[in-house]
Structure 1
Amino acid sequence: MDKKKIKIAILSISSLLMISMTASAVLADIQRYFVGVDSSLIQMVLTIPSLMALVFAFASGPLSLRMPKKSLVIFGLVCGLAGGMVALLFGSISIYVLLGSSLLLGVAQGINSTMSMALIADYFVANESGALMGLQSAFVNGGSMVLLFTSGMLAGIQWQMSYLVYLVFIPVIVIVMKNLPNDHPQAHVDEKHTEKSAKLNARVYFTALTMFLFGVFLFVYQTNVAMYVASRGFGDASTSGLINTSMSAAGMLTGILFGRMQRVLKKLVIPVSLLVGSLGMLSIFVIGSLPSLFVGAMCCGFCLATINPAGTFVAANAVHSSISSLAIAVVTASTSVGIFVSPILSNAVANAAGGNISVKFLLASIGLLGTGALSWIGNMVLDKKQEMLNRNTEIETSQINY
C-alpha cells in the first residue's frame, strides 16, 4: 500500500468538493436570463446540491461497508462530470434543466465529501490523520479558488461558459483510478459485531447539530454575494468570482496551517472559527463596501476551512473506528441540510425586513456567534459527562479487581 499515492488520490478528489459553488458567481446573471423566475428558485441552483448531498452522504456510509470506496468515489466523480456537461450544453433551455444538473452535482458532493474524509480515517491515524484533514481542507479551498476564479472569468463571456470548468473531473477520475486502492468492504460478521458494540454517541450528534447551524448561517454569504454585488453596482460576475476567490485563498492558507492551529487551540478550534466567520458577516452588514466584501470573504474562508476538518475529526474520533465512516456521513449530511435551509431562512428574514439584502448578513453574524457559544458550552458539558463516566468505570474496574 503506497500512502503517497493514496494522498494524491484523496487530495485530487478534495480539490473538486466545492465545485458546485462556482454557481454563486453567476446567480445574478442566471436571474437576469430567466426573467420572472423567483429568486428562491434561482438560489436552488446553488443549494440543491446540498439536498442531494444529504441523501448520498448518509447512503455512502453504509454502502462503503458493502462495496469498495474506490467504486463509490468514481461513481460520484462521473455524476459530477455529467452534471456539469448538462448545465453547459442545455442549461440555457430552462431553469429546471439547471436544477437537474445540480442534482447530479449533489450526488458527487455527497459521496466524495464523505469518502475523502473516510479514506483519511481508514489509512491514516492520530496526528497524521488530523494534519491530512487540514491539508485536505487546503486543497478543497485551493481547488475552489482556481475553479471560482476560472468560472468567474468564463462567465464574463457568457454565464453558461462557467460550466466549462467541470471538464476538470476527467483528469481526477484518471488519477483516482490509478492511485486509489481497490479496497474491499468488511465481512458481514464484522458488520454485525459493529452494530452490537459500536454506536453513534452524543458527541457525534452534537457535532452534527453544530455543523447544521454552521451550514445555515455561513452559506448566507455564498447564496447572496453575487446579488449583493449586483444590487450595489460593485461589478458583474467577474467581480463576484474575484471575491469568492479571496475566500478560497484564505481557506487554502488556513487549511495548510490547520494542524498547528488544532494543537494550539485544541477544543476551542470550532468556537474560534465561528467567531471569525461572525465578524466577517458583521463587517459586510456594517460597512457594506467592496473592500468589506473581500474582508468578509476571507473571514468566511477561514471559518469554512477550519470547521470542516475540525468537525469531521471530532466525529471520527468520538466513535469506534469501524463506524467512523458513518459518523463522518452524519456530520457531512447535517452540513448539507443546513446549506439547503439557508436561503429559505435568510429570504424569509429579508422579506420581513422589506427586502433588504444586507439584513441577511446581520442574521448570519448573530447566528454564527450564537452557534460558537453553543459549541463551547455544549462541549464543556459533554467533557464533564465523559470525565464522570471514565471515573465511574475506573471505580468499577478497581472493585472487580479487588
Structure 2
Amino acid sequence: MTAEQKATAKKALGITVQIAALLVITLQYAKSFSTPAMSAIGAAYAPAGVDSLMLKNIEGLPSLMAIVGAFAVGILERYMKKKTMLIIAMTCTLVGGVVAGLMPETIEGFYGILACRVVLGFGRGMIFPMASSFIADLFEGRQRDRLMSFKTAVGGLSGSVFQLIGGFLAVMSWRYSFIGYLFIIPIVAMIVLWLPEPDVKPAGTTADGKRGNALKSITVAAWIVILLAGVWNFFQFSYFTNISLCIKEAGLGDTGFAGIISSTQTLAAAVGAICYGAFLKGRLRGFDLPIALLGEAVGFWILTHIVSVPGYYAGAIVYGLAFGMFNPALILQIVKVLPKEGATLGLSLLAAAQNLCQYFSAYVLAFFAGLMGVAATGQFAGWNVAWPLATAMAVLVAVIIVITKAKHPELIAGLKEPGKQSDIEKTV
C-alpha cells in the first residue's frame, strides 16, 4: 500500500469503524449471558448425577480454553487475515453459546454443554487480544489511547447488560439464557460490515514477505510487562471471585446485595476507564500503572478493614475506578514497547499469561495466605494477601518506571505526547 493509499485509508476510519472496533470487546463478555443460570442448570441436571463440582466446569472451562485461544491468535495471524480470525472467534462464541441451550437434560447432554463451553472459551480467548490489537493497528496517537480506555468501559457495561438479560431469560428457563447469545448477532454483523482489515504485517515477517521468528518482535520490555501483568492477575481477580463470599461471611447481605456491589464496581470501572482516556492519560508523569495498583490496594484494604455496607460501597467504587484505569494503561504500555507488527502477538501472549495466572489464582492465594499468616481470616484471606502485595507491586513498577524514564523515556506510555493531531483525529 502506497503512502497516499494509507492516508486515504486513515481518513476512511470514521465513527462506524470506531464503533465496530469498540464492539469487539463486548463479545469477550458474552459469557455473562449464562452466568445467572448456574443454579437452574444444576437443578435441571441433578437427576442425571451432575454434582456441584461438575457444574463449576461450565464457568471454569471457558477461562481455561481462553488461554489456548489467546495463544492461537499469535500463531494464526501468520497464516490468515486478522479479520478472518475474528470471524472464527465470533462464530465460536455464537455457536458455543446457542447450541448449549439445545442439549437434553441427561448426562450426555451435560457433557454436550461442556463441549460447547470449550468452543466458547476458545473464541473468547481469541477475542480478548484482538479487541485491543484492532485498535492498536487501525488507530494512532490520542485517538488510539481514548479508544483503548473506552474499550474497557464498553466491555464492563456490556457484561452487566448481558448478565441482566441472561438473568431475565433464566427465570423462564435455563435454556433461554444460552439462546440469549443470539442477541450478539447484530453486534457480529456490525463488526463484519464496518471493521476493515488492518494493514499490518504479522510478527516475524521479513521485508521480502517471508516468515521469520515471530518472537523476535517481542521486546525485552514487553516480556517484563507480560510477566508482571500475569503475576498481578494472581491477586487482582480475587475481588471478583471473593466478593459474594465475603459479603455472605460478613453477614452484610444476600446475593441481591452482592449483585448491587458488583454493579457498583462495574460502573466505577467504566467511569475510571473513561476518565483515564479523556483527561488522566498523559497527566500522571508516566506513573499510571503504579497509581492504579495503589488504587486497587486501597480498595482491597477498605474491603478487609471497613466491613460494613457503606464500607463495601466505598471499596467497590475505589477498586472499580482503579481497575478501570489499570486495564487501558496496561494495554497502552505493552503496545508502546512493541513494534507495530508485534502488537497482536504481544497482546495474545499478555492475554494468555493473564488467563493462565487467573486460573491458578486460588491456589496461589491459598499459598500466600498461609505464608503471610492470614489463612485464618477465611474468605477474606485472598484480599488480605492482595492489598499488601498490590502495594509492593506498585512500588516495584514505580521503580522500574523511574529507571526507564531516566534512560528510555520513549518506552513509557503514560508520558504526555506532543499535541499534534493525527490524521484520524482530524476526521472525527
Normalised TM-score (structure 2): 0.78
Aligned match for 2:181, one of 159, 163, 166 = 166
Q: CA deviation at 1:118?
A: 1.0
Q: Do 1:24 and 1:226's aligned partners in 2 also have CA atoms closer than 8 Å?
A: no
Q: Deviations over 1:61-102 (max 9, x none)?
A: 232232121111121112112232244444975675554443
Equivalent residue, structure 1, for 2:423? none
Residues 203 and 265 (structure 1), Cα distance of their counterparts in 2 relative to 1, 3 Å cut: same
Equivalent residue, structure 1, for 2:416? none
Cα distance in 2 between the residues matched to 1:43 and 1:228: 19
Residues 101 and 383 (structure 1), Cα distance of their counterparts in 2 relative to 1, 3 Å cut: farther
One-letter identity of the residue aligned with 2:21 = I
Aligned match for 1:335, one of 338, 347, 354 = 354
Equivalent residue, structure 2, for 1:84? 97
Cα distance in 2 between the residues matched to 1:49 and 1:363: 26
Equivalent residue, structure 2, for 1:296? 315
One-letter identity of the residue aligned with 1:294 = Y
Equivalent residue, structure 2, for 1:324? 343
Q: CA deviation at 1:230?
A: 4.3
Q: Do 1:25 and 1:240's aligned partners in 2 also have CA atoms closer than 8 Å?
A: no
Aligned match for 2:166, one of 129, 144, 151 = 151
Query: Which deviates the most, 87-96 or 162-171?
Result: 87-96
Count matched residues: 388
Q: Deviations over 1:192-245 (max 9, x none)?
A: 487499532221111112211232112112122233344455555444333222
Equivalent residue, structure 2, for 1:3? 13
Aligned match for 1:209, one of 213, 224, 227 = 227
Query: Which deviates the most, 277-286 or 148-157?
Result: 148-157
Equivalent residue, structure 2, for 1:376? 398
Residues 337 and 382 (structure 1), Cα distance of their counterparts in 2 relative to 1, 3 Å cut: farther
Cα distance in 1 between the residues matched to 2:391 and 2:90: 35
Cα distance in 1 between the residues matched to 2:249 and 2:174: 18
As a proportion of its length, which structure holds more helix? 1
Q: Deviations over 1:342-365 (max 9, x none)?
A: 123335667983581122221222
The answer as to 2:149 corresponding to 1:138 is: no
* Aligned residue runs from structure 1 range 47-86, under 5 A: 47-86=60-99
Q: CA deviation at 1:161?
A: 5.3
Cα distance in 2 between the residues matched to 1:194 and 1:333: 22
Unaligned runs of 5+ in 1: 390-402
Q: 1:174 aligns to what SS in structure 2? A: helix
Equivalent residue, structure 2, for 1:221? 239
One-letter identity of the residue aligned with 2:275 = L
Query: Which deviates the most, 202-211 or 179-188?
Result: 179-188
Q: Do 1:274 and 1:369's aligned partners in 2 also have CA atoms closer than 8 Å?
A: yes
Q: Do 1:23 and 1:46's aligned partners in 2 also have CA atoms closer than 8 Å?
A: no
Aligned match for 1:363, one of 363, 368, 385 = 385
Cα distance in 2 between the residues matched to 1:372 and 1:37: 41
Q: Do 2:289 and 2:394's aligned partners in 1 also have CA atoms closer than 8 Å?
A: yes
Q: CA deviation at 1:114?
A: 1.0
Aligned match for 2:263, one of 240, 245, 248 = 245
One-letter identity of the residue aligned with 2:232 = F
Q: Do 2:238 and 2:383's aligned partners in 1 also have CA atoms closer than 8 Å?
A: yes
Identity of aligned residues (%): 23
Residues 367 and 105 (structure 1), Cα distance of their counterparts in 2 relative to 1, 3 Å cut: farther
Q: Deviations over 1:9-64 (max 9, x none)?
A: 1111122323335666666777888699566x665544443322222212212322
Equivalent residue, structure 2, for 1:12? 23
Q: Deviations over 1:333-388 (max 9, x none)?
A: 22111211112333566798358112222122223222222222233344445479
Equivalent residue, structure 1, for 2:425? none
Q: Do 1:156 and 1:238's aligned partners in 2 also have CA atoms closer than 8 Å?
A: no
Q: Do 1:250 and 1:301's aligned partners in 2 also have CA atoms closer than 8 Å?
A: yes
Cα distance in 2 between the residues matched to 1:285 and 1:53: 31
Query: Which deviates the most, 53-62 or 148-157?
Result: 148-157
Q: RMSD of the alignment, in Å?
A: 3.5
One-letter identity of the residue aligned with 2:138 = Y
One-letter identity of the residue aligned with 2:143 = E
Q: CA deviation at 1:166?
A: 2.6
Cα distance in 2 between the residues matched to 1:360 and 1:55: 27
Q: CA deviation at 1:319?
A: 2.0
Equivalent residue, structure 1, for 2:419? none
Q: Do 1:91 and 1:160's aligned partners in 2 also have CA atoms closer than 8 Å?
A: no
Residues 29 and 360 (structure 1), Cα distance of their counterparts in 2 relative to 1, 3 Å cut: farther
Q: Do 1:47 and 1:339's aligned partners in 2 also have CA atoms closer than 8 Å?
A: no
Q: Do 1:68 and 1:184's aligned partners in 2 also have CA atoms closer than 8 Å?
A: no
Q: CA deviation at 1:279?
A: 1.6
Query: Which deviates the most, 193-202 or 240-249?
Result: 193-202
